[in-house]
Each structure stands twice: as C-alpha cells, then as structure tokens.
Structure 1
Amino acid sequence: MSKVTSMKQAISTAISDGDSVYLAGFTHLIPFAAGHEIIRQEYTDLEVVRATPDLIYDQMIAAGCVGKVTFSWAGNPGVGSLRAFRRAIEDGVPNPIELEEYTHFGLVMRLYAGAVGLPFVPLKTFSGSDLPAENDNIRSVQSPFGDEEVYAVPPLNPDVAVVRGQRADENGNVHLWGIPGEHKEAALASDTVILSVEEIVDESVIRSDPNRTLVTADDIDYIVEEPYGSHPSYAQGYYDRDNDAYLNWDEVSQTHESTQEWLDEWVYSVADRDEYIRKLSSDRLLDLQTGNAYSEPINMGEN
C-alpha cells in the first residue's frame, strides 16, 4: 500500500491527543504546514518537542494544542521572544504549559540515545549550567574508567515525528541537503514518522546520489508532497527564508486576541497548504525564489 497521502490524513491517523510530537528542522525545512494542520484539527495536551522551538510552536501554543514543551532555547530567531510561549508560562493563556529544558546538544543526544537504543548518553555540555538543578532528567554519573563525573540524559522516543526533506521517492527514501539538523535522529527515535517533501521524484533520482539520502524508506510511515511546506522558514535550493513573516509575527502576537485573529486568517480559514500559498502574493513568492548554485557533479562509478 502506498505511503503517499495528504497532510490532513497523515496527521489525523498518526497523532492522538496527549502524544509527544517532534517537528524536526534546524533553521530550514521546519514543518510549518504540519503544525498548521495540527492546529486545524484542534489537538490538545500535546507534548511538543524540538530543538529551538520558534514560530510554529508559538502558534501551536496560542491555539491551545500544547500541554508541555520539551526544548532547547526558544525564541523568534533574530527578532526576540516568543510572545505566546511567554503568555502561557507567565499567565496561563490560553492554558498553562509545562517546560523541560536542555541545551541543543543535550536534547539531540536524547534523540540519539532513543534512535540507537541506549539507556542513557554521557556528555559534558551541562558543566557549569543551572539546568541540572531544574531538570530531573539531567543527572551526574561517574565515569567507569576513572574519577571524572559527567552528566547523562535518558533516551527520547517521541510518539510521532514530522521530518522534511527536499525530495523523496514514493517509498520514502529522502534526499536532504543544507543543514541536516536533527532530522535523522528524530526519524530513527520516533514510533511513527511523517515525511513531508517539496517534491516526490523517481527512485532513480534518489539512487543517483545515495550519500544524500539522510533517512530511508524503512523509517517512514507517511509521505506528503507539499511544496512550500516549510514557509516562512526555507528549503535550501527551493526558496529563501521569509524574514518579513518573522518580523510580522512579533507584531501580530503581541496580544492573545491579535494572535487568534492571525490564526483565524492563516490557519483555520484555509483548507490546506495549497490554499495558504495561494493567499500569499505572487510578488512575495517571487522574492523568495533562490538563485542557482549547483554543486560539482561526481562520478559514482558503475559496476
């Protein structure tokens, strides 16, 4: 049976209220379309997990989908605070949320432990940090090879991960270039994986460059072809970051009421990502088009 489906179907089948959900992507290939579909389907009490939760988690928090955030650093990159995030923490609006905080490396190492089946991973990243005093999942351990003490974190195995790539075949073998982020670890660590790509291509395209295949078909449960699925973040080689959208979010999210107005216009009142993109002006989309900077071809050889 084909894994290719719509984002609406993938989200409704894969996610239940109360699940832990990891939306992967570092700087680019952030799955905004998936987050908006989660909001449209009105999920509640989710534990949303992510290194650098940015606008998409702020929007999900504002929509009342979130009960807990497990994260490393939170903010509107290059702009300032996440206002809905702060309202939920400081004022319980629209509902109180629980926090579990790590460093970037600490959180990704939890994913790595979950991906490879380790009971914990030792690391030094928390030395000198206040985080161990605030997070029971960061514990000091003594080295079995000497007297040194280091910190350790447990495995992280989200119920569902959404990962993006530039292209994939219909089986789910994914090509990704640019910053790889934590896509691979999130996919391998999670029970269910939704893959969202800019385009589905023939298997021969993927096989032509196996070293670019970051995640393989056996780790993917659902495949969604969704151009501009990362907007307003970017997809390397497909479109640039929409910096104006990040600046605009700082303005529209100043109050809970104005945030809800934005969600009503850009999430609830649109059926899917296609309709969302049609709402953007053609000039705006043209401004986001990338130039061409091709890598040099290589000879893979032939047996």
Structure 2
Amino acid sequence: MTNFLSLTDAVSQNLNHGDTVSFEGFTHLIPHAAAHEAIRQQFTNLTLVRMTPDIVYDQMIGMGMAKKVIFSYAGNPGVGLLRRFRDAVENAWPAPLSIEEHSHAAMANAYEAGASGLPFAVFRGYRGAGLKDVNANIKSIRCPFTGEELAAVPALNPDVTFIHAQKANRKGDVLIEGIIGVQKEAALAAKRAVVTVEEIVEDFDDIHPNACILPNWTISAVSVVPGGAHPSYAHGYYERDNASYIQWDEIASDREHFLSWMTEFVLDAMPEDLNDRVAKFRRIV
C-alpha cells in the first residue's frame, strides 16, 4: 500500500548510500525537488541512471554523490554541455566518475526488460555504431528463428526510481499526463518507486486518453510537492523555465560559484511553493 510521506521521509526511507537510482523525466516532469532532497541528505556512492541526464544530475555529480552514470544523452537541453559532469569525467572533480553510455533505444528497452522481469533487452540497434567498442555491456545475439544479429543490453532494475507526476488520488494511484517518456517503465522496473505530485485529489476526472495511471501497488511512497518538477515543466500546471536552464550554464562553469550556489539555494533552502522555487533558482530576491 502506498505511503503518503513528507519529501524528507520519502527520500530517507527509500534511498540508501550505494544504491542504483533513477530520477527519470524526459524534458517533462523531471523530479528536481526529490533530487534536491537527496542532495541535502548527502547520499554518496550512487549509480545514477537516466535516459537524459541534465542539470539536476549535473548538480548531484558536482556534489560528489555519484560513482557512475548509466545514460543515453547528457547535456543542458538547448544550452550545451554539463560542466560538472564533464569536470568529473575529465578531472575526477570532486570525485572520479565512470560512465556507461547507451542509445535512447537501448535505455528504453533496458527499462522495459527490467519492468518485465527479463534479464536483458534485445532490439535492432548499434549497427555501425562505435558505442559497442567502448561499452562492454553492449552485446550481440543471434535470433534463433531468423538468424538475424541483434543488439542486447542488461535490464535496468534500479533500487529506487523517483518520478514527478500531476496527481495522486486518496488510494495512492498516480496520474501522469502529457509527455511520459520512460517514467512508467522506470518505476515498474525498480525495487521501490517514489512519486512527487502537484496535488492529491479525491479521484481522477476528465482523464485525457494519453494519460498514464500507475496503480498504488506499484508505488512505495507519494509526496505532495507543488512545483516539484521546476525548472522542467508539468503539463497543465506550469511551463518550462528556460531562463533557469540558460543561467545554469554560468552557475556551473566555475567550481566555487557552483558550490556557493548549491549551498545557498539547495543545501540551506527548502522552497515551499513554485514561486519561491523559481525565485531561488534564478537568484531573485
């Protein structure tokens, strides 16, 4: 049965040092507030998994929380590279970081395999690509029926997955609307799934046919965090804060500047609502 917990308790009761953890979101519904709480609780030695690591993984890596990243794209969308990610890979600052890079198709299929209880994923991919030459977890397998050579990668089964969604009802079912990405598969593949939501409702009304509902028995904990996806967006609640993504490039460009910002606006801060969250991110008083 789903537990309704504060964000602090939801993170502390479900994340452990050394875990393999996914904070999933594809441009939309990225669980920034949950990741910031993990940063405040100073978890270490994590293997971070995500199709598209962007600025929140840049923050976690820069705070020395990660030993490895399993991913299929890393960047500040629409802006450029992730400066803390790159510093960790190239200079081992603040700690050495190993990487396991895949294609989007591989990551999506690996989550699907994990959610299905399979040991690995099989798909058409990596033909003529160089990633298989630097990633030992990309293998080839021959179809026993047609003889076709296919790609294979290990299933992804995080210890815990964090996602953000629009609503949960009183029973603990979770409603996701708009672009879903692989949040459903990442939640179902994990041993534990924690969802931050914009609000709790009695029940779901006027559900869009493109919506996704995760039943309460798939969810370990729900925490109400309005604005919890900012600076990404939540369909029907708020838009993507493009200015914050642009500003992050300047914040992350210098180690001391980065640490100062993280101390003031993440470690020592607990924004209470979306307006406060936006103000803190943009350093606006």
TM range (shorter): over 0.9
Residue deviations 1:277-302, cap 9 Å, x none?
526449x8xxxxxxxxxxxxxxxxxx
Distance 1:247-1:274 versus aligned 2 partners, 3 A rule: same
Q: Which residue of 2 aligns with 1:3?
A: 3
Residue deviations 1:57-104, cap 9 Å, x none?
000011111111010110000000000000000001000111011011
- Percent of aligned positions with the same letter in both sequences? 44
User: Partners in 1 of 2:267 and 2:21 — Cα distance?
Assistant: 21
Instruction: Report if aligned partners of 2:69, 2:99 keep a CA contact under 8 Å in 1.
Output: yes
TM-score, with normalisation over the residues of structure 2?
A: 0.94
SS of match in other structure, 1:184: helix
User: Partners in 2 of 1:251 and 1:119 — Cα distance?
Assistant: 42
User: Partners in 1 of 2:34 and 2:271 — Cα distance?
Assistant: 9
> Which AA in structure 1 matches 2:45?
D
User: Partners in 1 of 2:68 and 2:236 — Cα distance?
Assistant: 34
Distance 1:73-1:273 versus aligned 2 partners, 3 A rule: same
> Which AA in structure 1 matches 2:28?
H
> Which AA in structure 2 matches 1:128?
G
Unaligned residue ranges in structure 2 (runs of 5+): none
SS of match in other structure, 2:222: strand
Distance 1:79-1:210 versus aligned 2 partners, 3 A rule: closer
User: Partners in 2 of 1:248 and 1:125 — Cα distance?
Assistant: 36
Q: Which residue of 2 aligns with 1:194?
A: 194
Residue deviations 1:151-189, cap 9 Å, x none?
111211000000111111133211111111101101110
Cα displacement (A) at 1:275:
6.7
Q: Which residue of 2 aligns with 1:110?
A: 110
Cα displacement (A) at 1:43:
0.7
User: Partners in 1 of 2:227 and 2:30 — Cα distance?
Assistant: 10
Cα displacement (A) at 1:125:
2.1
SS of match in other structure, 1:274: coil
Larger radius of gyration: 1
User: Partners in 2 of 1:213 and 1:43 — Cα distance?
Assistant: 31
Instruction: Report if aligned partners of 1:2, 1:170 keep a CA contact under 8 Å in 2.
Output: no
Instruction: Report if aligned partners of 1:172, 1:195 keep a CA contact under 8 Å in 2.
Output: no
Runs of 4+ in 1 over 2 A off after TM superposition: 208-214, 275-282
Unaligned residue ranges in structure 1 (runs of 5+): 285-303
Distance 1:79-1:269 versus aligned 2 partners, 3 A rule: same
Cα displacement (A) at 1:210:
8.8
> Which AA in structure 2 matches 1:137?
N
Instruction: Report if aligned partners of 1:23, 1:50 keep a CA contact under 8 Å in 2.
Output: yes
User: Partners in 2 of 1:189 and 1:166 — Cα distance?
Assistant: 21
Cα displacement (A) at 1:265:
1.5
Instruction: Report if aligned partners of 1:197, 1:229 keep a CA contact under 8 Å in 2.
Output: yes
User: Partners in 2 of 1:220 and 1:127 — Cα distance?
Assistant: 37
User: Partners in 1 of 2:183 and 2:51 — Cα distance?
Assistant: 11
Deviates more, 1:142-151 or 1:33-42: 142-151
Distance 1:121-1:41 versus aligned 2 partners, 3 A rule: same
> Which AA in structure 2 matches 1:140?
S
Q: How large is the Cα RMSD of the aligned pairs?
A: 1.8
Q: Which residue of 2 aligns with 1:297?
A: none
SS of match in other structure, 1:68: strand
Instruction: Report if aligned partners of 1:33, 1:273 keep a CA contact under 8 Å in 2.
Output: no
Distance 1:154-1:260 versus aligned 2 partners, 3 A rule: same
Instruction: Report if aligned partners of 2:230, 2:278 keep a CA contact under 8 Å in 1.
Output: no
User: Partners in 2 of 1:234 and 1:14 — Cα distance?
Assistant: 25
SS of match in other structure, 1:165: strand
User: Partners in 2 of 1:143 and 1:58 — Cα distance?
Assistant: 39
Q: Which residue of 2 aligns with 1:170?
A: 170
Instruction: Report if aligned partners of 1:173, 1:213 keep a CA contact under 8 Å in 2.
Output: no
Q: Which residue of 2 aligns with 1:233?
A: 232
User: Partners in 1 of 2:2 and 2:110 — Cα distance?
Assistant: 31
TM-score, with normalisation over the residues of structure 1?
A: 0.88
> Which AA in structure 1 matches 2:56?
I
